[in-house]
Structure 1
């Protein structure tokens, strides 16, 4: 064939080769990133590349009590209470904890509690201890618990006044069940509930749903805290039925958490049992059923699993979907206070409880405490 006729054919053939190479690039060997412990039919959900929200959350905080005298206060006035955890607490958008007690300088315990307790546990922290929480970075606190009313109305009013003066957001009282605030352009709604006197009522399901739904109407992210379930080692597991402790109905925490998310909650954080409990993802939202004790100086048992102090770090997207997380393990003793736990005991305990209590929890907790959301 003359060269004059070959050139157009060669050009067309080369052009077809170029198109094929661009539309069908060489196959790359796909790396196997599936963790070894994942079931074969489980798919990890990769975090969405979007503006994310970081939250650090802990359970009960009680830095000693001045009642009936100062012998139950830490020797350093509580200033070093959180020193070992500052690296994990700070540099988050939200830093949350449950304040198990009051900020009050003087005052008597309420009579009805004195009558019903064989041994008194009345938590009255000096008002300047509020600065300890502020210095540690806490900007969100729940007051919904069984100790906020230890010193009646004076204790509740003093606690609220101190938190207001420090710019720390709080909620959970019957007179203030919720709060709204803005951090880095994101508007948050927060509410907290417990079955105890003078707190937003955990057992009033209509009130719970209405409060959360109202917050969701005006906020980007809604965080819900609850103080519920039995107390102590026998209550590590979630029975998914109403729990009773010393004759008091402490609620069905599983039903509560699901109802909260159905009503608009984006993150549910539990406390109250003084032990850690399982975690679950429900409708793309994370539930931590109990974060146990975190920093509780004396008066609260820290023996065995009660001394495990998990610090939960959570990443959400702007829609409130749980993307990833990590349980950072701490432990505490009455002698040395709060310490990092390189054995990851708290994380491993929560992992075992999660596997035991939920067949399909929607998440996997690794040996190092990393939490991965999964679909089945």
Structure 2
């Protein structure tokens, strides 16, 4: 069965891209309600991680990993399995070119990330099928970098969103229709600071999909900013958003899962109106010029379970860590899980969550 909606082709299938808009309008046209009559699965699995940047050839190829990125996810690939496997693509795919944001093109002081285009296949083969491109590095190489990145993701059938030119996508897997949108405070991305517009987009997507996933790149950066402050976060004179208010607003509008990244450290989690929020998933797989000291070097790999209504059932936290020599590996000390537990207890007292020693988060049962 096919529907032609504002130039978008919608096709039923096991895992088929339904709509990824290329115009600058933020709100998609609502589909007829009878298109939503589909078989729902009882439990859906969403695997979610934070920043991914597996090596940049700029300003020097010395910032590429010694195995050319081939084994970037080797330590965790058995955990990257779910209906959705999500990450934040912290940079663009581009084989050549200079960045206008960098005055120093000789030394190693420029934070502009250009992953070789072949690295996209490594991310695809690891299992990722949904990526945010709403962040401060997707535009490091201008329009060419953004365009090349989106063309490559399209060619690999990896769903993505977050650019003004591509604010959302809708896709289907196993007869469940998902919508995804992503936000950031950065140029050419869908703004995290325009909350009313974000709510309007999410509400429209919820009318078309069973499950709406929202991602944001927001909040100040580094170990001094592990807590969720419940106010606007200004960092380097830039408004990085009020991530607490934003997350609650998009859930009020219909979002089922909210996944945050940007601070480069792990932050607390929250369940609001039975919907799961991760306020920052930290640095997941970031080779090269990223600081990996202290809390910057630990991160969660979340294995979320939600029901067909999008309500939170459980989350298994697989703790990982990175350093410059050993790269991404499992963390036997469960640092990310322990950090999430501690921060959630502090930032959201009375949270009604159970943190078990095995690394699981579950809602408390009603008496």
Instruction: Give TM-score scaled by structure 2 length.
Output: 0.86
Find 2:224's aligned residue among 230, 234, 237.
234
Structure 2 CA distance for aligned equivalents of residues 154 and 175 of structure 1: 13
Q: Distance in 2 between matches of 1:375 and 1:265?
A: 23
1:333 counterpart SS class: coil
The counterpart of 2:97, out of the listed 102, 107, 117, is 107
* Residues in 2 aligned to 1:292 and 1:355: alpha-carbon distance in whole angstroms: 18
Aligned counterparts, 1:62-77, within 5 A:
62-77=53-68
TM-score when normalising by structure 1:
0.84
Question: Which of the numbers 178, 198, 210 marks the counterpart of 2:168?
Answer: 178
Find the counterpart in structure 2 of residue 211 from structure 1: 201
Alpha-carbon distance in structure 1 between the residues aligned to 2:69 and 2:273: 40
2:350 corresponds to 1:364: no
Q: 1:313 aligns with which of 296, 303, 317?
A: 303
Q: Unmatched 5+ residue regions in structure 2? A: 1-40
Structure-to-structure mapping, 1:90-239, within 5 angstroms: 90=81, 92-111=82-101, 114=103, 119-239=109-229
SS of equivalent to 1:260: helix
Q: Does 1:58 align with 2:49?
A: yes
SS in 1 for 2:95: coil
Tell me whether 140-149 or 65-74 shows the greater mean CA deviation: 65-74
Q: Name the count of aligned residue pairs.
A: 324
Q: Report if aligned partners of 2:59, 2:110 keep a CA contact under 8 Å in 1.
A: no
Give 3-state SS (helix, strand or coil) of 1:337's partner: coil
> Post-superposition shift, 1:110?
2.5
Partner of 1:323: 313
More helix per residue: 1 or 2?
1
Partner Cα distance (2:319, 2:234) in 1: 29
Shift of 1:375: 5.7
Deviation at 1:341, TM superposition (A): 1.0
Q: Secondary structure at the match of 1:371?
A: strand
4+ runs of 1 displaced by more than 6 Å? none
Task: Determine if contact 1:279/1:361 at 8 Å carries over to the other structure.
Answer: no
Contact persistence 2:54–2:287 (CA under 8 A): yes
| Counterpart secondary structure, 1:277 | coil
Q: C-alpha distance in 2, partners of 1:184/1:361?
A: 33
Q: Secondary structure at the match of 1:218?
A: coil
CA radius of gyration, larger in: 1
Does the 8 Å contact 1:347/1:368 carry over to 2? no
C-alpha deviations, 1:230-282, integer Å up to 9, x for none? 00001000110111111111111100000010000000000000000000000
Equivalent residue for 1:284, pick from 244, 253, 274:
274
Q: How far off its partner does 1:114 sit? A: 4.5
- RMSD value over aligned CA atoms? 1.5
